[in-house]
Each structure stands twice: as C-alpha cells, then as structure tokens.
A and B are shown apart, each in its own frame.
Chain A
C-alpha cells in the first residue's frame, strides 16, 4: 500500500497522462476545419503615411502557411490611399488580390515590403488521415511559437 503522498502523485501522473493521451487522440481524430479558405492580410489605411514618418510597419509575415483544400487562398487587401507593393504584386487603393494554391509546395515571391526582399508561401498537404492531422497540428503549434 502506497503512503497517501505517493498515491496522490501517482494519481496526478495518471490524470496528466490521460489528459495528454486525450489531447493526442483529439488532435488525430478531429477534422481540421476553417470558416473560410482565405487567409487574409490587409494594409490598413494610413500605412504609407506611417512608413513615410519613419515607422517600421510589418503587415505581411515573411512566411505564410496555407493548407490544401481547407485554407489554400491568400487574400491581400489594400485599404490604404496609395498603390502598394503587397506580397507579389502592385495593388491599387481599395483593391484586393486573391491567390489560390492547388499544389502543396513552397512558393517564393519577390516582395519589396520585406527586408529580405522575399516572401515565402508554404502550402501543406491536406491533413486527411489521423497521423497527418496530428502532425499538422503539432507543426502549426510549433510555427505559432517559433
């Protein structure tokens, strides 16, 4: 018979293990769903003025991650008053650019808005099996932290 303290510790380990296992099972079995296929980014009004004033304005990350079939459309919107190079293209005020991706790959675009002069769109395969869903969720968690 375990002393009460050891028993409580054992119980805590069992609970944490069970919760971890439940999380893994959930991540593997729960389908990945988004409300929209579009991953939107926008240039807010006044961005050009803020840049001209010497402020560093980062709107579009240097890496954008999409997933085939569920989140595979890059949507860029220019709400500013002047034309802007946004991602791969020149956009007029009030204009949007909707770019769909049909093949999983890593796409490089020249982008003068980034210090590196480059923007990368990584398109992942659709996570349609338990293992792929688990892998996809772990990768997404890692990217959000890194």
Chain B
C-alpha cells in the first residue's frame, strides 16, 4: 500500500492534529486504574489508599507496605499452623508467581499472621519458604495485628483451647497496586491463572 502525500488542506490541519495527538499521549501517560471488569477479583471503586503497617518481617527487617511501592502486592492473612486454607492459598500464589515469568519480580506476596502468639518471624520464614522463597511474612504484638486486621476488615477468631487451637479467619487476598492503592480482593477458591491474570493487568 502506498502512502498518499498530505494535501494542502490536510497540512493546514497539522497544528490541530498535533495538539490532539499530544492530548492523546498525555491521557495515555496519566496513571489509570484497570477497568473493574478487566479483573477476575472483586474490585473496589474508587480504590482507596491501602492501610500501611509497621511490623516485623520474616526477612529480619521492618515490614511496611510502603517498602514495596512500585510492586503489585498480594496481601494475605493466615497462620503457620493452618492445615487447610493457608497452605492451599500459598501454593496457588506460588504457582501464580511461576506463571508470571519475568513479571514475577514485580509482584510481592506478603502474608500477615493472625496468630502472633505462635508465629514468630523464624517460624513464618520457614513456613513461607516451603512455598516460595520470595514470600514475606509479618508479625507483631497481638494488639498490632488486631489493628492491621481491623484496617482491612479481616476477621480472626480463635477456635479451641490449649496449644493446639485453630484460628478461623478471612481467607481473601488483597491486590494492592504499585501506587499503594487497595484495588481488589480475590476470594478463596480462585486459580493461579486468575491471580497471574490480575497481577498482569495491574502491572500493565
């Protein structure tokens, strides 16, 4: 196909076209939230600032959400003695991370304990490393962890007595954008493909 040279009238429209093009480029460059129906997860609209926290990280450093600004954060709540929901969720997140391929380094899984009495940083580190070495756990005092749960609307209730108790807790994974906005919530039961899809959408 041959290109047609611009006619006189077209060349006179040059400046207005250039302005329109510039406006288009500016619109494209502005940060935009992924459309709600583009995600498999439940989407908050408008997204709010994800509540930050200051806890002990399983990597031995202070754990804050703002430390991971620039990455998509997958934030979950659970505990190392969990025998059902947490291992399944973490296995799915590990699989999702593998599916992300080169994008995996731009996503970070953070798992905060709902059982701070038993979960110290060492225990969290060993537990999470069995799924993926990049996963970071967080713990703190009972009061600190309760405050973080409250800020996200997460419930946790101790079931049973003695040292072998369980904790019934919310099993969602929160999807936090690179700008630190709480954009979406993935209920339990979604596949690794769904997570990989949504992280890709939020990254792109």
Residue ranges of A at the interface with B (Cβ–Cβ < 8 Å): 74, 85, 88-92, 94-100, 102-103, 105, 107, 109-110, 112
Assess whether A97 is in contact with B187, with CB atoms less than 8 Å apart.
no
A91 to B170: give the CA distance in the assembly, Å.
Answer: 15
Q: Is B117 an interface residue (CB 8 A)?
A: no
Interface size in chain B (residues, C-beta < 8 A): 19
In the complex, are the beta carbons of A99 and B152 less than 8 A apart?
no
Contacts A88-B185, A90-B152, A107-B189: A97 and B44 contacting too (C-beta < 8 A)?
yes
Query: Are B46's CB and A95's CB within 8 A?
Result: yes
Among B36, B42, B48, max chain A CB count under 10 A is at B42
Q: Name 17 interchain pairs, CB-CB below 8 A, sorted by A.
A: A74-B42, A88-B170, A88-B172, A89-B153, A90-B153, A92-B48, A95-B44, A95-B46, A95-B48, A96-B44, A97-B42, A97-B44, A98-B37, A99-B185, A105-B189, A109-B187, A110-B170
A92 to B46 CA separation, bound complex (whole angstroms):
9
Q: Which B-chain residue is minimally distant from A102 (CB atoms)?
A: B40
Chain A residues with Cβ under 8 A from B44's Cβ?
Answer: 89, 91, 95-97
Q: A107 is contacted by which of B45, B155, B187 (Cβ under 8 Å)?
A: B187
Check A96–B42 contact: CB distance below 8 A. no
| B43 touches which of A88, A94, A97, A107 (Cβ 8 Å) | A97
Contacting residues, chain A, for B168 (C-beta < 8 A): 110
State whether A100 and B37 are in contact (beta carbons under 8 Å apart), knowing that A88-B172, A112-B155 are contacts in the complex: yes
Please state if A85 and B153 are interface contacts (CB–CB under 8 Å): yes
Q: Number of residue pairs across A and B with beta carbons under 8 Å?
A: 51
* Alpha-carbon gap, A10 to B44, bound state (A): 60
CB–CB A99/B40 < 8 A: no
- Chain B residues within an 8 Å CB radius of A105: 189
- In whole Å, how far is A81's beta carbon from the nearest beta carbon of chain B? 15
**CA A26 – CA B43 in complex, angstroms?**
37
Known contacts A95-B45, A110-B155, A110-B170: A88-B36 contact under CB 8 Å? no
Tell me, in angstroms, the Cα distance from A99 to B41 when the chains sit together: 6
A88–B37 CA distance with the chains assembled, in angstroms: 19
What chain B residues lie within 8 Å of A90 (beta carbons)? 152-153
Most B CB atoms within 10 A — which of A91, A102, A110? A110
Q: Chain A's nearest CB lies how many Å from the CB of B169?
A: 9
Q: Which 10 A-B residue pairs are closest in the complex by CB-CB distance?
A: A90-B153, A99-B42, A96-B45, A98-B43, A98-B36, A92-B48, A110-B155, A89-B153, A97-B44, A85-B153
Query: Which A residues lie within 8 Å of B155 (CB)?
Result: 110, 112
Q: A97-B42, A99-B42 are in contact. Are A88 and B187 (CB under 8 A)?
A: yes
Given A88-B185, A94-B46, A95-B46, 10 more contacts at CB 8 Å? A88-B187, A89-B185, A91-B44, A98-B42, A98-B43, A98-B45, A99-B42, A100-B40, A107-B187, A107-B189
